[in-house]
Structure 1
């Protein structure tokens, strides 16, 4: 996903990888709408959970989004 965003000139900043190997990105607030469209195009159409916390008083706000794909009209889950 990160490579796709870089191809479209989004100025994200990698904050490293978590213990599961998932990359964490810092994204500018003005790019959120475009990022949301990209994720939807990739099939992520359901927000399972969201949380946020202050990194420091009066500082940055860290947000975590757990997105998943919901497919309609299927008989058995994959």
Structure 2
């Protein structure tokens, strides 16, 4: 998505950053996906979060990318 702020973070920082974004109003997980960055290499998990408010025509969005090793592909849950 062009024009959407994209942040690349470490897996161990994901939970704290997700809480901070929620506090700042990013209250809707638009979608989540994962992909292979390279054959045999890193894996990526991508989260698109949206700030939903009544009366706002263009909600703010942010994209978070978390890269993990294929050997230990663990990312904290944000549920």
What TM-score do the two structures reach when normalised by structure 2?
0.56
Cα separation, partners in 2 of 1:34 and 1:23, compared to 1, 3 Å: same
Instruction: Select the structure of larger CA radius of gyration.
Output: 1
1:43 corresponding residue in structure 2:
25
Larger proportion of strand: 2
Question: Aligned partners of 2:25 and 2:35: how far apart in 1?
Answer: 27
Cα separation, partners in 2 of 1:52 and 1:29, compared to 1, 3 Å: same
RMSD: 2.1
Number of residue pairs aligned between Structure 1 and Structure 2: 56
Following TM superposition, by how much is the alpha carbon of 1:35 offset from its aligned partner in structure 2, in angstroms? Answer: 0.6
Question: Aligned partners of 2:20 and 2:40: how far apart in 1?
Answer: 30
Larger proportion of helix: 1
Unaligned runs of 5+ in 1: 1-17
Following TM superposition, by how much is the alpha carbon of 1:63 offset from its aligned partner in structure 2, in angstroms? Answer: 2.3
- SS of aligned partner of 1:37: helix
- Which consecutive segments of 4 or more residues in structure 1 shift more than 6 A? none
Question: Aligned partners of 1:26 and 1:69: how far apart in 2?
Answer: 19
RCO comparison, higher one (Cα < 8 Å, 6+): 2
Unaligned runs of 5+ in 2: 57-79
